[in-house]
Chain A
Amino acid sequence: NAGVTQTPKFRVLKTGQSMTLLCAQDMNHEYMYWYRQDPGMGLRLIHYSVGEGTTAKGEVPDGYNVSRLKKQNFLLGLESAAPSQTSVYFCASSYEGVLGSYNSPLHFGNGTRLTVT
């Protein structure tokens, strides 16, 4: 049981390049999230998904796109990277709960450190 796995762990991009971050979970969780963490800012939600085939915007969605084609995978794309997207990106997932409540603990991946030069 690997939990939440993020790839890659590190990446350096040049301004204007594109890339995709992959998140995979093996806990059969319905909900998946992408956060970014910047110094002194805590974590901010980029996009999230409440099930296969669905996505929604979070607090800071601009410059990112996501897809949830399979329940276990949640992809975060940067179409044209900018230095402001230099950050540590965390994927998380959570289980819906017995009564359909979304109030269940988040499980995080180990993060992807992205630098855009």
Chain B
Amino acid sequence: QSALTQPASVSGSPGQSITISCTGTSSDVGGNKYVTWYQQHPGKAPKLIIYDVSNRPSGVSNRFSGSKSDNTASLTISGLQPEDEADYYCSAYRGSSTLGVFGTGTTVTVL
């Protein structure tokens, strides 16, 4: 159950846009629409911010957007704000009769 690959860290200045990649295989990221993204602030539980590749739950800022190309999913944060500083994890479904898999996690720093 190998983890999906994410960059360890990404940084940007307030107002800028950043993109976090999440690379898997045709058996997970590339194989279905069930790619999700979670935001986790220090000491807090994760929070769902993107589901089914590009959908935002109610209440999540439209500055967060998701996409996918082949075996790589991406999370873009536009208009970066200080409160976006957090860890971000992707996750993907690997088919029936099995659990999903998380990415390795990316720490976003707002400079």
Task: Say whether A and B bind each other.
Answer: no
